[in-house]
Amino acid sequence: MIERPERRSALVRPAGAVLAVMVGLGGVLLGVTVVLTPSSVPMGVTASAQGQPVAPPASFSIPALALTGKPLVDLAHTSEGRREQPGTAQGVGWFADGPAPGEPGVAVLAGHATYGYSGGAFARLGELNPGAEIVIRGVDGRETRFVVRKTARFAASTPDSALIAPEGTGAELRLITCAGPYDSADISGYRVAVYAAPAP
């Protein structure tokens, strides 16, 4: 397996102005580093379960949600161990410290349902039905297709580790978001996870 070079995405740490906008944020970004710029530098490729090379993802499409050619940013962890999140309402990121879509394991995309007073890219994520198609385009231009198996809701306090737990040993794709308003007391919403498998 070829190691991926160091990620090149530009990061912006939240400041007071950003925190003010995040009241009402379904993605819950308070105290979390946000990522604004997609990586434009092709990284190394690794092998899929079938032995075919898998490039890191560059963009994705979900026709059922009218999302087409949406760019992806790389998401990792901050030095404090917190998960980075996309820095814009329409931003969507890939958990770059996990497998790429099509590799064995759970590849994860995360986006916002709401961001401040704006709807996010994943505002309608909970509407995806089994059979819906998700297309991932790699940095090498190749496409990998997935089919939704199910959509599930979790309590707002559910950690990422529960939402992205593997259900098998092959390649899986998981899309996650938060929904509902946020205030200084708590998140009065829920989390959504979409489970998808490679198209046959």
Tell me if 131 is assigned to some domain: yes
Tell me if 5 is assigned to some domain: no
Structure tokens at 129: 């039905």
Residue the block writes with tokens 């998808």: 196
Tell me if 172 is assigned to some domain: yes
Tell me if 62 is assigned to some domain: yes
| Residue 97's CATH number | 2.40.260.10
Rounded CA separation 48/67 (Å): 26
Tell me what the mean pLDDT of segment 172-198 comes to.
78
Query: How many domains does the structure of the chain reveal?
Result: 1
* Domain range for 118: 11-198
The three-class DSSP label of residue 64 is helix
pLDDT at 24: 36
Say what the pTM is: 0.74
pLDDT at 170: 94
Tell me if 3 is assigned to some domain: no
Tell me if 60 is assigned to some domain: yes
Tell me if 1 is assigned to some domain: no
Q: For 43-76, how does the pLDDT look when each residue is reduced to its tens digit (9 = 90+)?
A: 444 455 455 678 999 999 999 999 999 999 999 9
Tell me what the mean pLDDT of segment 168-193 comes to.
77
Rounded CA separation 16/12 (Å): 12
Tell me if 2 is assigned to some domain: no
